[in-house]
Structure 1
Amino acid sequence: MQRLSQKILLLSGWKRALIAFMIGALTALALAPFHFFFIGFLTFPILVWLLDGAVGPIEAGRIARHFPAFWTGWFFGFGYFVAGLWWISNALLVEAPEFAWAIPLAVLGLPALLAIFYGAATVLARSFWSSSVARIFVLAASFGVAEWLRTFVLTGFPWNALSNTIQPSPLMMQSSAFVGADAMNVLAVACFALPAAFFTKGRERILALLCFMILLGGHLSIGVWRLNYSPEPDAEGSIVRIVQPAVDQSTKLEPGDGKVVFDALLELSSQPIVDETLARPRYIIWPETSVPFILTREPQAVAAIADMLKVGQSLIAGVVREEVDEDSDGSQRRYYNSMLLINDEGIITSAADKTHLVPFGEYLPFSEQLKQWGFKAVAAADRGYFSGAQRRSLPISTGLTAIPLICYEVIFGGEINRLEKTDGLMINVTNDAWYGHTPGPYQHFHQSQLRAVEMGMPMVRAANNGISGFIDAKGRIKAKLEYGQTGAIDAELPASLAIPFGKQFQSQIFWLLVVLFATIGIVSRTRG
């Protein structure tokens, strides 16, 4: 193995770039739906060995000296994001050929941009590099900072954070309840990369093995304890029905098909209960933009919802909400991607708007200029969406409040964690039909599981084409509808868990790890 590491260390030019790209692409196999997390124990050690040899020429300038390290990290990230995000291009085929020209931007452009974060991480790590095991902790801290930056730079896009790769199942998700998603990025890279030092001699090998056993053993032990010995959440008592109409996205966009889609939603919502042990559903949930027209413009549709709902039932529906500017003559309208609560009398009792919109999907950055050039947002028709002023909780009933998460808002763990925890649930409505039967919907569902664990709250997820389901506060799937399956499922809503010790200090835990790991690297380099 030492001979192999030496061969990898000596690679340069296109060979180094190719290997970095390949191991990045292989690392994506640790993501949903594959969950081959053990691949990280191969790919990250190779990345370490590549960085061991990523040294710029002595005569190069201060900036040029970092090029080998940057490009090593960049190609690793490029491979990881191409393999993990290629499915985004499927959304551009829904209205092809109008958006087909942008497919290369989705498949290659977005990964190329995201890979800059990983390139910056390897430059930072290489600046404090040494020949000891300490370099692995520096690498972990650097990737942790890069992933933290991905949560907010350019509006943020932390999809497929590296922490996801070491959390394939509820058993391996429980650590995040205590340290949070940001710290898990640091610990995941450290755990995956430590085997690079297994083949050195003397105390370095023993130290690496010891650190590896502590990290991986602790990670698994927390999972075993929390799933088997910690208190279980009691059932909240309310029965919830999730409706999954499985409507093809191109059908939703066809003029005249709105009534067909709406009638299908009503029919699925009215189906008799299959499980005789359950009471009648108290809440019915429809997915994101489930109603293919502006609901408030159609009083007969609102009346049909009221007729469908039994006494005491409520509907939580993902819809497009329209707001007329009172200062105009009615011609100025704003549209919001929203979640509405409708009672059995057809009255909208509360609403929550999406606050974190998808750039180029739901709105156009620099819209005035881009519209002159013929651009428009992919998923917003010609109207475009406005973001909600602030994230609001959704009061469901007395004593039950929901955190509404529309579409990819569920991937922003840091934003959700900063919200005040409610005695209720999280509701994620989404329309993953844009992405077809690809890894996208599976990755999205997996991240919903992680948020449930981190928040200690159940997650109810309604997706147009799937995957829909009930996730308890420990990330376990209680019931679900698979991708492409049409139907409705009923389940009793689990209760929230007590806030884990350390949850309110997750930001401090993250930065403590970064500082600690960076200090280890700096001290080792100074001594070396």
Structure 2
Amino acid sequence: MERLAGSIMLLSGWRRALVAVLAGAIAVLALPPLGIFAAPFVSFTLLVWLLDGASGDPDAGIVRRSLPAFAIGWWFGFGYFLGGIWWLGNALLVEADEFAWALPLAVIGLPAVLAVYYGLAAAVARLIWSDGMGRITALAVAFGLAEWLRGFLLTGFPWNAIGYAAMPVPLMMQSASILGLSAINLLAVFVFAAPALLVTRKGRLPGMGLALLLVCAHLGYGAWRLAQPAPQPSDPQTVIRLVQPVIDQAKKIDDTERTAIFEEHLALAAAPPEADGKRPDIIVWPETSVPFILTENPDALLRIADVLQEGQILIAGAVRAENVGAGLPPRYYNSIYVIDDRGQIVGATDKVHLVPFGEYLPFESMLSSVGLNAIAAAMPGGFSSAVTRSLLTLPGGRSLYPLICYEAIFPDEIDDRALSTAALLNITNDAWFGNTPGPYQHFHQAQLRAVENGIPLIRAANSGISAVVDARGGVVSGLAYNEKGFVDTILPGKSTVMVTPSERHRIFWLLAFLSLSVALVSRTGFIFRDN
């Protein structure tokens, strides 16, 4: 192994770049749908050895001195994001005549931009690099901070954060209930990079020992938490029906299909319970399932009233229009409606975090002048975002915490109010991405939001994956990708929460401070000198 490490360190030019790209791509194997947990150990070990050989000119300024490490981190990130989100290009092929020209921007351009975060992480880590355990600590804190920045900078896009690779199954998800994703990002990089210490004497034993301890604690806490009695459903029990219509995206944007699509949703909502099951109390449709402006179609509300039985509630994704003044175009919102058995809209909430270039066009006045449009916006100007997130209050007083589409990938979109709700509600339309890794990755990230907050998740997706997930990440019942139909299941109860969302932020910053301190002290040579 020492010979391999030495060979990697001495690589230069295109060979070094190629190994960095391959190392990043290997890490993708840990993500859904494969979930190969061992893959990142290979990736980050290679990254450490590459950075070992990335010393810049010591007489150059800090920027020039950091360029070799930045290049390695960038190539690593490019491989990781290219392998992880190539499927975004599928959305551009739904209306290929209008958007296919942008395919290289989505498939290659976006990974190239996101790779900058990992390039900066590698450059920062290399500035405080040392010979032993300190260097993997430096890499961990640098990647932890890079992932934190990726969560909000330029509206944020924390898709496939490194920490998800450490949480492929519920047994390995439970640590998120205490630490949260940001802290797990940091600790995961430390553990994944630990095998690099096998070829070094300095800090090998404490580094490998700490990594092993973290893995044991991760698995041990997961096993202990799953062994506790399952949270009991509320009394009276609530039966949820998830409707998964599997409407092809090309059909959804065809105006002539609107009535047929609406009736298809109604038929699945009106179907009798499976076997001798209890009729559903709440029926959930996916994102933008209502194919027209509902408030402008009273007949549609009457049809919903005809289908719903007494006491039933429909939760449906729809586009909401808002008139803002005479002579001005209306604003449109990606919304969720709550509709009772009389066809009355008794609750609503709008999406807060919109998808750039998907639901709205950044720098619209400039870009629209050259003919650009938002991909998923069904109206000129795209969607408007809500100023604040409103909870969905249902008849009877129970509330849900709404997350529309990719809002579920943002841990920081969920605040302490969620702890008082009955469940997280995530409606989405992943039909844009076809049968690619995208829908599986999206579901996995939404699943983690339930574990982090100790709250069940209700998730309805047009083409899948739809499921009710309990507070510990277990799938109670659901529908696989592209499986048309519905599923009725009881809403699980909530778990006791040891750490609130705001407290998890403080845990992350404490870990970042401690890790940075270890890296800096290690660099001075005062610790791990003779190990």
What is the deviation of 1:255?
Answer: 2.1
8 Å contact from structure 1 (residues 428, 459) kept in 2: yes
Distance 2:351 2:203 in 1: 50
State how 1:40-79 maps to structure 2 within 5 Å: 40-79=40-79
Gaps of 5+ in 2: 527-531
Alpha-carbon distance in 1 for matches of 2:155, 2:180? 20
**8 Å Cα contact 1:354-1:406 kept in structure 2:** yes
- 1:31 match: 31
Match in the other structure for 2:505: 507
Name the structure 2 match of 1:517.
515
Q: How does 1:105-504 map to 2 (within 5 A)?
A: 105-201=105-201, 204-228=203-227, 230-236=228-234, 237-276=237-276, 278-325=277-324, 327-329=325-327, 332-383=329-380, 384-501=382-499, 504=502
Q: How far did residue 401 of structure 1 move?
A: 0.7
Deviates more, 1:499-508 or 1:160-169: 499-508
Amino acid paired to 2:18: L
CA distance in 1, matches of 2:501, 2:249: 39
C-alpha contact 2:26 2:42 (8 A) present in aligned 1? no
Asked if 2 retains the 8 angstrom alpha-carbon contact of 1:177 and 1:503, the reply is: no
Instruction: Give deviations 1:69-125, integer Å, cap 9, x for gaps.
Output: 001000000000000000000000000121000000000111111110000101111
The CA deviation at 1:297 is 1.4
Letter in 2 for 1:350: G
SS at match of 2:256: coil
Which amino acid in the other structure matches residue 183 of structure 2?
Answer: A
1:241-300 Cα offsets, whole Å, 9 max, x none, are 000000000001112100110110000111111142x32100000000001111111111
Query: How much has 1:423 moved relative to structure 2?
Result: 3.3
Contact 2:5-2:199 at 8 Å conserved across structures: no
Deviations 1:325-372 (A, max 9, x none): 2x314x521110000000000000010000000000000111011111
Q: CA deviation at 1:61?
A: 3.5
CA gap of 1:423–1:385, structure 2 versus 1, over 3 A, is closer
Listed one character per residue, the Cα deviations across residues 123-163 of structure 1 (whole Å, up to 9, x for unaligned) are 11101000011111111001000000011100000000001
Q: CA deviation at 1:419?
A: 4.0
2:203 match: secondary structure:
helix
Distance 1:287 1:89 in 2: 22
The alpha carbon displacement at 1:65 in A equals: 1.1
- Describe the SS at the equivalent of 1:359: coil
The code of the aligned residue for 2:331 comes to: R
Q: Percent identity?
A: 50
Paired with 1:256 and 1:423, the residues of 2 have a C-alpha distance of: 39
> Which amino acid in structure 2 is aligned with residue 438 of structure 1?
T
Query: Which residues of structure 1 form unaligned runs of 5+?
Result: none
CA 1:160–1:419 in 2, change beyond 3 Å: closer, same or farther?
A: farther
Structure 1 residue 59, shift from structure 2 partner: 4.5
Kindly report the root-mean-square deviation, in angstroms, between the aligned alpha carbons of the 2 structures: 1.2
1:60 is displaced (CA, Å) by: 3.5
Read off the aligned partner of 1:469 and give its amino acid letter. A
For residues 220 and 173 of structure 2, the distance between their equivalents in structure 1, rounded to whole angstroms, comes to 11
The answer on whether the counterparts of 2:416 and 2:501 sit within 8 Å (CA) in structure 1 is no
1:363 partner letter: Y
Kept in 2: contact 1:198–1:208 (CA 8 A): no
Secondary structure, counterpart of 1:235 in structure 2:
coil
* 3-state DSSP of counterpart to 2:473: coil
- 1:288–1:317: 8 Å Cα contact kept in structure 2? yes
CA distance in structure 1 between the partners assigned to 2:97 and 2:12 by the alignment: 41
Q: 2: distance between equivalents of 1:246 and 1:295? A: 21
SS, match of residue 477 in structure 2: strand
Q: Secondary structure at 2:238's aligned position in 1?
A: strand
Name the TM-score, length of structure 2 as normaliser.
0.97
Letter in 1 for 2:163: S
Q: Does structure 2 retain, via aligned residues, the 8 Å contact 1:399–1:423?
A: no
**Structure 2 Cα separation of the partners of residues 209 and 117 of structure 1:** 27
1:195, 1:208 within 8 Å by CA — same for their partners in 2?
Answer: no
The letter for the 2-side match of 1:364 is L
SS of residue in 2 equivalent to 1:97: helix
Contact 1:178 1:503 (8 Å CA) reproduced: no
Which range moves more in the overlay, 391-400 or 55-64? 55-64
Give 1:200 shift. 2.6
Residue 199 of structure 1 deviates from its aligned partner by 2.9
Partner of 2:529: none
Could you tell me how far 1:213 is from its partner in structure 2?
Answer: 1.3
